[in-house]
Chain A
Amino acid sequence: MSAFSALLVRDLKLATRGGGGAALALGFFALVATLVPLGIGADLALLAKVAGGVLWVGAVLAALLSLDGLFQGDYDDGSLELIALAPLSLELASLAKIAAHWLSTGLPLTLLSPLLALLFNLSPGATAVLFVSLLLGTPAVSAIGAIGASLTLSLRRGGLILPLIILPLLSPAVIFGAGAVAAKLDGFAPSGALGLLGAFSLAAVLLSPFAAAASVRLNLSG
């Protein structure tokens, strides 16, 4: 098993063990999907219109919950130093961590979304678009989130700053993702939005490991 997959599997195990990130994120996501209708009223037509945006924001916030632990655990017990010194480049290690985070958070959120879309009276076609958009976009959340996680390493209250730092950077994903659903609802093809979302995600996943690794290095050397 290559070093990359070994790290990925290890992080996955850590994330899912002990009722870790996935369960918490799913619960949060479902709660948001429940609270918003309570807040804005049960008008089903209205709910269908806002479903894309609400569920996208909910998914992003839910994925954020487990982000500050992405590097923190390893930093605290010294494993991060070992990872940095290992033959596997820190960039690839970061990519492995991002992948593990997505598999344990973004993917489950995506899989839950059709069920929550039911609560919002979203049509089957639009739900399919929502599903695809989350599938394409949640990797960007994990990737850009990793940058925030590495920047806020070793901060005592880093958890509070992390959302402030990365939510603005995630706005294109929300815009394109929810935009695809809205396009579908308005009778347009969602492919433009989905294409842009895919491009954004791809760029994020390819470039974030470099920024994250650089941040980890400066935190280790300081």
Chain B
Amino acid sequence: MFDQIFNLGPYSSFIWPAYGVSALALAGATVWTLAAWRGAKRRLAALEDQQAQKDKP
């Protein structure tokens, strides 16, 4: 199968960039989405801690 991947024929100069851009875009979107999620969770946790501190008697 790896033979297939690295021997894509005459049009490989189109196939590689297409897959490259797609991989980059999809991976980038995933990373960005996850990073935003983690950041939001962190901020909420920090704020909830603050709130908890304030509510302490």
**A–B direct contact (CB < 8 Å):** no
**Interface positions of A (Cβ within 8 A of B):** none
